A = this chain, B = another copy of it.
Amino acid sequence: MKQVTIIGIGLIGGSFALDLKQHLPGVSISGIDQNEAHLNTALKLGIIDQVGAFDQLKKADLVVVAIPVNSAIRVLPEVLDLIADHTVVIDMGSTKAGICNAVASHPRRANFLATHPIAGTEFSGPSAAMKGLFENKTNIICELDSTLPHLSEAVLTLFKTLGMHLRFMAAKAHDKHIAYVSHLSHISAFMLGKTVIDKEKNERDIFDMAGSGFESTVRLAKSSPDMWTPIFEQNKTNVIETLNEYIQNLNQFKAYMEQDDFEAVYNEMKNTNHIKQILKGIA
């Protein structure tokens, strides 16, 4: 893989480029991004070697699509139209069913591999890119059977070289599970931030009463709405299901408090403390 084109030079695309440069000596990375300032930053930071173009995609060995998921659904079929036989195309989006669906009947479907590296921070753009972002992180590979074996093998080997652990899953199962362990956390944090900010408008200066606990719980509310709105749109049904369960649990907790049933309040927390053991398994 000497010629790589990355479409979307943000936190994910940029970090992937930095890792490729470290692990694939001699690789040449072209960047495509509709944000010209991001392209210039990526050039200046040495994340990409040159600006790429769609009509040059046929020269690429690997094309990485790392843009918001609604854009990926639009762009991926166009990318597949333009590549060569030997090119492998991957996406890195946080939802997978809509993306796999968008290319399902494309003549070049077998040149595409759907991936979701569970990596990132609450920051965005090429200046947020960092080396080693993917090390020891899980990468969920969807619909592996739909990709030509020699192409998927090359990509999976690359992922392992970058230190990722691979999991294989159907796209629909991915979207259902990821709603619980990722999408719900974001809404939980955003709405916590909103609740406290709304209060602060009337009651000044409460934020210097906040400690590291609040900071940790609300951290994801810094995330980019440009990235997350399409994710919620793509995964609407699953996310609404998680929200229903979450709101039901909150209402139950509130009901216990209203009924002065603090034994039940205690048990709700005690039973959830089990999360300690679970979190130990997360890198």
Contact = CB atoms under 8 A, between A and B. Distances in A.
A249 interface: yes
Chain A interface category by residue count: 35 or more
Copies of the chain in the assembly: 2
Contacts of A247: 247, 250-251, 254
Given A191-B246, A208-B167, A229-B269, A214 B181 contact: yes
Contact of A282 (B137, B191, B207): B207
A182 B213 contact: yes
B209 A275 contact: no
A191 B233 contact: no
Contacts of A282: 207-208, 210-212, 214-215
A38 interface: no
Interface string A235-261: 010011011111101110110011010
Residue of A181, A185, A207 with highest tally of chain B CB at under 10 A: A181
A118 interface: yes
